[in-house]
Structure 1
Amino acid sequence: MRSAAYLFRERGYSGTGFRDVIAHSGAPRGSIYHHFPGGKVQLAVEAMRYAGDFVAAGTESAIKEGDPVAAVHAFIGWWRRVLVKSDFQAGCPIAAVTVESHEEAPQLAQAAAHAFRRWQDALAAGLVAGGCSAERAESLATLIVSSVEGATILCRAARDASALDRVAVELEGVVENALKAEVRRR
Structure 2
Amino acid sequence: MPKDAGPQRQRLIETAARLFEAQGYAATGLQQLLAESGAPKGSLYHYFPGGKEALAVAVVEHAAAAIESGLAQALAAATPQDGLLAALALFRRKLVEADFRAGCPIATIALEQSDASEPIRLACERAYAGWQARLAAALGGDAAAARQAERLLARLEGALLLARVRRSTAPLDALADDLALDSTTRHIANGDGR
Q: Same fold (TM over 0.5)?
A: yes
Structure 2, unpaired ranges of 5+: 1-12
- In 2, the alpha carbon distance for the partners of 1:45 and 1:175 equals 36
2:108 counterpart residue number: 96
- In 2, the alpha carbon distance for the partners of 1:65 and 1:115 equals 22
Q: Number of paired residues? A: 180
CA contact (8 A) 2:115 2:121 kept: no
Match of 1:50 among 62, 66, 85: 62
Q: Which has the higher helix share?
A: 1
Match of 1:2 among 14, 21, 25: 14
1:111 counterpart residue number: 123
Change (3 A) 1:116 1:175: farther
TM-score w.r.t. the length of structure 2 is: 0.83
Change (3 A) 1:145 1:13: same
SS at match of 1:146: helix
Shift of 1:172: 3.5
Which residue type is aligned with residue 54 of structure 2? Q
Point out the structure with max Rg over C-alpha.
2
CA contact (8 A) 1:144 1:171 kept: no
**Higher mean displacement: 88-97 or 169-178:** 169-178
1:24 counterpart residue number: 36
2:160 counterpart residue number: 152
CA contact (8 A) 1:72 1:172 kept: no
The alignment yields a C-alpha RMSD, in angstroms, of 2.2
CA contact (8 A) 1:9 1:90 kept: yes
Change (3 A) 1:102 1:117: closer
TM-score w.r.t. the length of structure 1 is: 0.86
Identity of aligned residues (%): 36
Per-residue CA deviation, residues 15-59 of structure 1 (Å, 9 max, x unaligned), is 112222223322223222211110111010110011111001011
